[in-house]
A and B are shown apart, each in its own frame.
Chain A
Amino acid sequence: MHFFICNCGFFHFKDYGTNQTSVIMKIQRVETDREINSGSMADIAFLLLIFFLMTTTIAVDKGLAIMLPPKTDQKPVAPIAGRNLFKVYINSSDRLMAEGEVLANAGELKPMIQTFVLNRGASAELSDNPEKAVVSLKTDRGTSYKAYISALDEIQGAYYEIYGERIGLTAAGYRQLDLKDPEQRALHEKARAGIPMNISIAEPTR
């Protein structure tokens, strides 16, 4: 625009007489003061701002959620039948034992827990029904936190897989259900119905 006007002015200046030029120059001065219309710049900026607002995720902490038992003096602890209790024990050198069996790594826990929970009285050594089934995780005071988390991760993973399977999702799909959405919440409730996640964190041995 700028140049176009300049060239135009120059052309006029050359062609017509001095009288004519002065008139054109006046017009030119008005034209040069003009800038690109920047009124929409703010809109563009806001658009970008909103875009970034939507796409950037503020670092949200993720982790393994559990619920601690209430204070011990509040409720008498009902005894759990041996078959309904799946014992996982990690000793102070991070060796893993489940139901008296020494395991090489925590990955072996998942299928064991799934067969234990979904036994429904089939095997006399495994749980009566999923509601009664309890997975107990016990550590030593010297057990490393890393070993504890990897075992807890497998135990929770076993349950999430069961839940996911019931509603036709993967474990990850189940975990990502949005509880604020009533439809997804209903699905979440449906998956959990009758199979509570009974994980007991036992107090460590002294």
Chain B
Amino acid sequence: MSTVQRLGLFARISDALWRYPKHVFWILALPPFLWFATIYAAALIALGYQSLFQAETAAAGGYGVSFTNYLDLLAPKNMTVLARSVVMATTVTLAVAIISFPLAYYVARYSHGKWKTLFYFGIMIPLFTGYLVKLQSWAVIFSSDRLLGEAFSILPIGFTQTTSHWGTFLILLHIALPFMILPVMMTLGRLPRAMLDASADLGAHPVQTFRFTILPLAAPGLVIGSIFTFSLTFGDYIVPRILEHYGPLLGQSVSQLAIEQGGASLAAACTIVPLIVLLVLVWIAKKAGVFDAP
């Protein structure tokens, strides 16, 4: 004789949670989905709207779509700003990659146990140290009552109009450094030792091992680090403004426009174009499998 046990409400809910994974998925996913969908859609619509419907035409009572903002972007003077920003971001990214690689390689390959933990610690702390804390450090280094006396005045950096790009370069480099070190360190940490030994056994010169074994295997980390570094540097507007960079960088001009009265529509156009370009670049990187976590 089998007795069919009647289940209480509690148990039935519990069973339902197990039985309908699709429904559970949507119950869980709905709040974050709504949050992000709202913000992303709103951001794209707002930027598109502001850049296409010019401030002047709206004030005049007309509702015309106009591409003047986008045509304005193509003006030679704006192209110069763009080129300058790309050059700055690229050089900083390259320099950061070169400086971080030996450190990342050393920690990933040669440090063990307690030391390794300590080194990871040492990277995580600057990674999360605030942007303005780092900036204040440089303000101290460059300031007139400087602690280091005249040491830094010998170097071609500081607040003067002609050399401020070195200062900008140096500060951006310092800010971006941990964002490159960590991903490179992670990928190098997974580097199989046997592969390096095999390369050496087969007669490769250490330089060849580096070029054909280490570098390709470290590439995903380098790409992620470069995306972060480029993005941080390209989008920065505070450092060049404070150092009075000799010519404005993109972020600097856009941030100026965005908070000015009546500049919002051009600022929106200046934002939506790099936004789309960067998304396409990141999408390409994603297609290449950079973000596929192991």
| B is a partner of A | no
